[in-house]
Amino acid sequence: SGEGIGGYCIASLAAFFGIIATSAMFRTTALRAARYFHEQLLETMLKLPMSFYDTTPLGRVQNRFSKDIYTVDEILVSILMMYFNTLIRVAATIVVIAAATPWFLVIIVPLLLLYRHTQNYYVPTSRQLKRIESNLRSPIFSHFDETLQGVASIRAFGQQAEFINEILHKVQRNMRGYYVSVASNRWLAIRLETLGTCIVTAA
């Protein structure tokens, strides 16, 4: 009917403008957060004593201004949007299923406990794996910076192959840490998909 079509159009327009407003809010907030994070990081680095730079590899400092800034600028905002989107969808799905089959609430409680147990096991492990991968990335920046500074001496003594092999070795070590991190994500995905299948079966 005409009223049904009109209501559907209004709901579609509301959802459309809601998505635009939410995306704009997230992007604006992420931009402000990234700018604040960069300013605070730069201010802190400029106030550090020279002893810090004597004991800290330069690659680790460059890693903070490259990978970490990129994470705040690009990855973090996307993850937050996906998190809230998934949270709303899961809550709506549980409400709809519980309204249709109330006994589903009895099954959802142990499944939520399993979700919580999986989270408690995965989050600390993933945090440490990310830290290891970050620490393995820092020597790559240090080696690359040192190579650029001493490129004339490297060419004069014919040590190009040695420096190439060394940076390839560092990249391979970093890829090992990255591979383990990706493997942990797949470990989590398999368990979450299994629990999701249990929910669908119970519903």
**Mind listing the pLDDT tens digit for each residue in 25-53?**
878 888 888 888 888 888 888 888 888 87
Q: Which of 15-29, 136-150, 167-181 has the highest mean pLDDT?
A: 167-181
Which residues are within 8 A (CB) of 192 and not within 5 positions of it... i.e. 6 or more apart? 115, 118
Split at pLDDT 50, 70, 90, the class of 67 is: confident
The SS3 call for residue 34 is helix
What distance in Å separates the CA atoms of residue 188 and residue 200, rounded to the nearest whole number?
A: 18
Q: What is the pLDDT of residue 3?
A: 67
Give the predicted TM-score (pTM) of the model.
0.64
Split at pLDDT 50, 70, 90, the class of 165 is: very high
**Residues 81-112 pLDDT 10s:** 888 887 888 788 778 777 877 777 788 788 88
Q: How big, in percent rounded to 5, are the helix, strand and coil portions of the chain? A: 95, 0, 5
Q: Pinpoint the alpha helices (H) of 48-75.
A: 50-55, 58-63, 69-70
Instruction: Provide the token pair at 188.
Output: 């989590």
